[in-house]
């Protein structure tokens, strides 16, 4: 598959893929099923190995009762067209359907997804976070330069090729849409959802903009650095979001940092302030983060905690979430809060206020009460019971499993 530099046919026209039907039995004949790699809202991903060559491949199964053929082909062709970026997962030319699913092949990411390696309530070592920021920033910038918005940026959709994050790739383009189009709001929100989407009514929907990815990327960076969500939802009903919002509205004054943000350096806070600007017009572009990578993002004590975590001395933490697909990790220990020299800005930071007079930029973590930050768990963007399309696949012939083999076509996005 080649990637067209610009212009070209609209995404919807990409169904002009040349498809020739083959028997799905051919996959069985050539590939051995090894294990399930993950589960999402719309299906599952299996690991397969070529019977003679041993080459591994990930097969993504998307259930027909939740996804139309048009949407499936859009996901496949979008992924194929973006695969020329070294930071975006590559598809294979395996494309077929079974009775219940549409299926396509992807390169196998042997180290799983980013969610699995983030130690809860501790976060990843800063240098690993920066490697992810760099590579994912380039992946998103590439998409945005083509007028596409991912719309589901989160650790579960970041695939790893090694556990040190030297090679990571953005995946799952099932929600990707063109910037500028209007989409219906899906039910529910996740912590990565931008405030303008949380505020949008169900009926009128909202406009797709690159800013949605920038916001989600900001939340993702917070999650990687801390092992917590900054809030459950970017909505006025959320105490943590409101605390952050009040601080932003006040012009982000130094010394009155919201409780969850005291662990960061001033440089990191400047970056978050730009990535997480509530007004989408004020939000920066994703590549604006690159200039912050050279700065230290975490304060000294937090970095020491993360080094201890790296050595396996993870006191008070429940250990890394184990993967295994969509279940959501259990949060055994209360989350940690880091206190600073500033006074507590709201009730939700009460847990840290007693330790907040030390005069240090950061102090040792203290256990949070019931108002502690939201524990990270796997998330889904929409209600699992509602399809990602308005209507599922129209009555297709389910009598036979077919293989739809895409030939080498240049797809323009
Ligand atoms: N190519 C791959 N290599 C290894 N694991 C994968 C691969 N693709 C997906 N996974 C795993 O499967 C999970 C679900 O895949 P994803 O494409 O995100 O499906 P969904 O659209 O249902 O969310 C991912 O979170 C990841 O853990
Ligand atoms: Mg996914």
Instruction: Please compute the mean of the pLDDT values over residues 298-315 and round it to a whole number.
Output: 63
Query: Which residue, by CA, sits nearest to atom 26 of ligand 1?
Result: 38
Identify the domain containing residue 396 by its residue range.
114-401
Examine the domain organization and report whether 84 and 198 are in the same domain: no
Residue 14 lies in a domain: no
Whole-number Å distance between alpha carbons of 174 and 149? 11
Pocket test for ligand 1, best of 159, 160, 167 (most atoms within 8 A of CB): 159
> Do residues 197 and 212 make contact, with C-beta atoms less than 8 angstroms apart?
yes
pLDDT higher than threshold 70 for residue 331: no
Residue 224 makes CB contacts below 8 A (sequence gap 6+) with 114, 118, 123, 124, 128, 129, 132, 155
Residue with tokens 């206020």: 353
Which pLDDT score, from 0 to 100, does residue 312 have? 58
Which pLDDT score, from 0 to 100, does residue 377 have? 84
pLDDT per residue over 346-405, tens digit each?
A: 333 333 333 332 222 222 333 333 456 678 888 876 544 444 554 444 433 333 344 443
| Lowest-confidence pick of 81-95, 98-112, 201-215, 372-386 | 372-386
Pocket test for ligand 1, best of 34, 37, 87 (most atoms within 8 A of CB): 37
Pairing of strands 206-207, 56-63: unpaired
When pLDDT is cut at 50, 70 and 90, the band that residue 205 belongs to is confident
Average model confidence (pLDDT) for the chain?
77
Examine the domain organization and report whether 71 and 148 are in the same domain: no
Examine the domain organization and report whether 43 and 166 are in the same domain: no
How far, in Å, is the centroid of ligand 2 from the Cα of 318? Answer: 24
Whole-number Å distance between alpha carbons of 43 and 45? 7
Examine the domain organization and report whether 74 and 121 are in the same domain: no
Give the CATH number of the domain where residue 148 resides. Answer: 1.10.510.10
| 126 pocket-lining for ligand 1 (C-beta < 6 Å) | no
Examine the domain organization and report whether 161 and 296 are in the same domain: yes
Task: Please indicate whether residue 46 is annotated as part of the active site.
Answer: no
Which pLDDT score, from 0 to 100, does residue 327 have? 31
H/E element holding 104?
A: strand 101-106
Residue 76 makes CB contacts below 8 A (sequence gap 6+) with 17, 91, 95, 104, 406
Examine the domain organization and report whether 96 and 192 are in the same domain: no
| 91 pocket-lining for ligand 1 (C-beta < 6 Å) | no
Count the alpha carbons within 13 Å of 340 in the hemisphere toward its beta carbon: 23
Those residues whose beta carbon sits under 5 angstroms from the ion ligand 2 are: 40, 157, 172
Which pLDDT score, from 0 to 100, does residue 134 have? 98
| 116 pocket-lining for ligand 1 (C-beta < 6 Å) | no
Residue 166 lies in a domain: yes
Q: The pTM is what?
A: 0.79
Query: Which member of 46, 141, 152, 213 is catalytic?
Result: 152
Q: Which of 85, 106, 127 is the last residue of a domain?
A: 106
> Do residues 209 and 282 make contact, with C-beta atoms less than 8 angstroms apart?
no
Residue 406 lies in a domain: no
| 71 pocket-lining for ligand 1 (C-beta < 6 Å) | no
Which pLDDT score, from 0 to 100, does residue 341 have? 32
Structural domains counted in the chain: 2
User: Which DSSP string do the residues of 208-269 spell out, in sequence order?
Assistant: --HHHHHHHHHHHHHHHHHSB-S-S-SSTT-HHHHHHHHHHHTT--TT---GGGTTB-HHHH
Residue 292 lies in a domain: yes
| 75 pocket-lining for ligand 1 (C-beta < 6 Å) | no
Whole-number Å distance between alpha carbons of 383 and 190? 11
End-to-end Cα, the chain, rounded Å: 13
pLDDT higher than threshold 90 for residue 175: yes
Examine the domain organization and report whether 174 and 317 are in the same domain: yes
Examine the domain organization and report whether 266 and 395 are in the same domain: yes
pLDDT higher than threshold 80 for residue 311: no
């Amino acid at each position: 598959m080649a990637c067209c530099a610009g212009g070209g046919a609209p995404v919807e026209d990409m169904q002009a893929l040349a498809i020739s039907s083959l028997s799905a039995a051919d996959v069985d004949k050539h590939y051995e099923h090894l294990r399930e790699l993950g589960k999402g809202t719309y299906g599952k991903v299996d690991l397969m190995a070529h019977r003679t060559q041993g080459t591994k491949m990930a097969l993504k199964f998307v259930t027909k009762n939740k996804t139309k053929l048009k949407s499936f082909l859009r996901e496949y062709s979008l992924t194929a067209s973006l695969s020329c970026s070294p930071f975006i997962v590559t598809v294979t030319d395996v494309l077929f359907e079974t009775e219940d699913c549409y299926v396509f092949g992807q390169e196998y990411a042997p180290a799983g997804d980013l969610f699995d390696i983030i130690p809860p309530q501790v976060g990843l070592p800063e240098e690993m976070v920066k490697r992810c920021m760099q590579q994912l920033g380039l992946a998103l910038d590439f998409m945005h330069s083509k007028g596409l918005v991912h719309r589901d940026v989160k650790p579960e959709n970041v695939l790893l090729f090694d556990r040190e994050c030297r090679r990571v790739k953005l995946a799952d383009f099932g929600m990707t849409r063109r910037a500028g189009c209007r989409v219906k709001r899906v039910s529910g929100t996740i912590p990565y959802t931008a405030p303008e989407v949380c505020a949008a009514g169900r009926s009128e929907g909202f406009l797709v903009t690159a800013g949605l990815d920038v916001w989600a990327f900001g939340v993702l960076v917070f999650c990687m650095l801390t092992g917590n969500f900054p809030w459950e939802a970017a909505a006025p009903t959320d105490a943590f979001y409101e605390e952050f919002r009040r601080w932003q509205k006040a012009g982000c004054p130094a010394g009155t940092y919201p409780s969850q943000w005291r662990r960061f350096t001033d440089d990191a806070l400047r970056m978050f302030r730009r990535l997480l600007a509530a007004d989408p017009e004020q939000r920066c572009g994703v590549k604006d983060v690159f200039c912050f990578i050279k700065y230290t993002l975490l304060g000294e004590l937090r970095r020491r905690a993360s080094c201890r975590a790296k050595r396996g001395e993870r006191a008070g933490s429940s250990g890394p979430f184990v993967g295994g697909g969509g279940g959501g990790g259990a949060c055994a220990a209360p989350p940690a809060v880091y206190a600073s020299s500033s006074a507590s800005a709201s009730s939700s930071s009460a847990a840290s206020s007693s330790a907040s007079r030390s005069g240090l930029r950061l102090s040792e973590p203290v256990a949070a009460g019931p108002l502690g930050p939201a524990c990270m768990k796997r998330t889904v963007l929409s209600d699992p019971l509602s399809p990602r399309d308005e209507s599922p696949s129209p009555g297709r012939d389910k009598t036979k499993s077919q293989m739809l083999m895409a030939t080498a076509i240049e797809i323009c996005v």
